């Protein structure tokens, strides 16, 4: 009995959509969304991923939005089969591993990803909070790029500076493409932004850094985006440390995408 055939994973969904954030914005990706997250960010729009569910949903063909329900947990052969439903020639730019926090299932991923590599030539991109460097090291050999959501204490309520530094350094040493994203809100502090930018620049000032104004969960929600003038000031200040800084909101929400 091999690990690859019989180990299981908590899955939320597999579907095809336009990437709305960060360096890959506007590209078409196959999203594999894993269940489980050990953080509880105040702005989280994926709270349904936090705890394992008894079923997951699989889109039947790219962009059809016709889903079938499948029981959790799922096996690697199942994921590979559902991936093949999506992976039609000339449709996608890459595969996005997202969550939740995919690195909570790093051992499973370390076996799954080499099989995905054998099955498709699509690049593999990981979205992570960047707070599990040891787990990242397990899967890094199978990744083409990483998007890291650095957690600003003033926005997310979490503090992981040293884990972020180690995670970024691992990507840099492995020469895996990496970018960082900071969710910014009215409550963001200048000190947190400077700490994050200096951390990135210490590894490599040319790592792209994205400021993403938070999308409020509701009009009354306590976490609201910063004023436009404030965003301009922050970008100017941070550009002195990280020259490749861009401000990009969640475009998939404006497009009505998943």
DSSP string, 14-26: EEEEE--SGGGTT
Distance in Å, CB of 47 to ligand SF4, minimum: 7
Question: Which C-beta is closer to ligand SF4: that of 120 or that of 250?
Answer: 250
Total residues found in the chain within this entry: 258
What span, in angstroms and rounded, lies between the C-alpha atoms of 167 and 135?
Answer: 9
What span, in angstroms and rounded, lies between the C-alpha atoms of 10 and 199?
Answer: 33
Question: Which C-beta is closer to ligand SF4: that of 34 or that of 108?
Answer: 34
Binding site for ligand SF4 (CB under 6 A): 37, 39-41, 44, 46, 49, 99-101, 129
What span, in angstroms and rounded, lies between the C-alpha atoms of 17 and 7?
Answer: 28
Query: Which token pair is 48?
Result: 């349904």
DSSP string, 151-214: --HHHHS---HHHHHHHHHHHHHHT-EEEEEEEE-TT--HHHHHHHHHHHHHH-TTS-EEEEE-
Question: Which C-beta is closer to ligand SF4: that of 43 or that of 108?
Answer: 43
Question: Which C-beta is closer to ligand SF4: that of 21 or that of 59?
Answer: 21
Distance in Å, CB of 97 to ligand SF4, minimum: 13
Distance in Å, CB of 46 to ligand SF4, minimum: 4
Distance in Å, CB of 100 to ligand SF4, minimum: 5
Q: Please name the residues in contact with 229: beta carbons below 8 A apart, sequence gap of 6 or more.
A: none
Question: Which C-beta is closer to ligand SF4: that of 92 or that of 132?
Answer: 132
Distance in Å, CB of 21 to ligand SF4, minimum: 11
């Amino acid at each position: 009995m091999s690990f690859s055939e019989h180990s299981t994973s908590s899955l939320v969904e597999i579907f095809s959509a336009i990437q709305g954030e960060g360096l890959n914005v506007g590209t078409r990706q196959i999203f594999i969304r894993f269940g489980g997250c050990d953080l509880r960010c105040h702005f989280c729009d994926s709270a349904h991923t936090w705890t394992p569910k008894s079923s997951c949903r699989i889109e039947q063909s790219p962009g059809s939005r016709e889903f079938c329900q499948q029981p959790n947990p799922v096996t690697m052969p199942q994921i590979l089969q559902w991936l093949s439903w999506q992976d039609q020639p000339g449709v996608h730019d890459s595969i996005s591993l997202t969550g939740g926090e995919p690195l909570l299932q790093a051992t499973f991923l370390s076996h799954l990803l080499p099989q995905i590599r054998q099955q498709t030539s699509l690049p593999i991109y990981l979205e992570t909070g960047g707070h599990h460097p040891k787990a990242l090291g397990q899967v890094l050999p199978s990744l083409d790029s990483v998007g890291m959501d650095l957690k600003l204490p003033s926005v997310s309520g979490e503090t992981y500076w040293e884990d972020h530094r180690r995670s970024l350094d691992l990507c840099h040493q492995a020469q895996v493409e990496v970018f960082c994203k900071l969710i910014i809100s009215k409550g963001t502090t200048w000190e947190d932004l400077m700490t994050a930018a200096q951390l990135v620049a210490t590894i490599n000032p040319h790592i792209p850094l994205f400021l993403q104004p938070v999308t409020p969960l509701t009009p009354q929600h306590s976490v609201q985006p910063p004023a436009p003038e404030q965003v301009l000031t922050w970008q100017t200040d941070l550009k002195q440390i990280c020259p490749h800084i861009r401000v990009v909101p969640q475009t998939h929400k404006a497009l009505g995408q998943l």
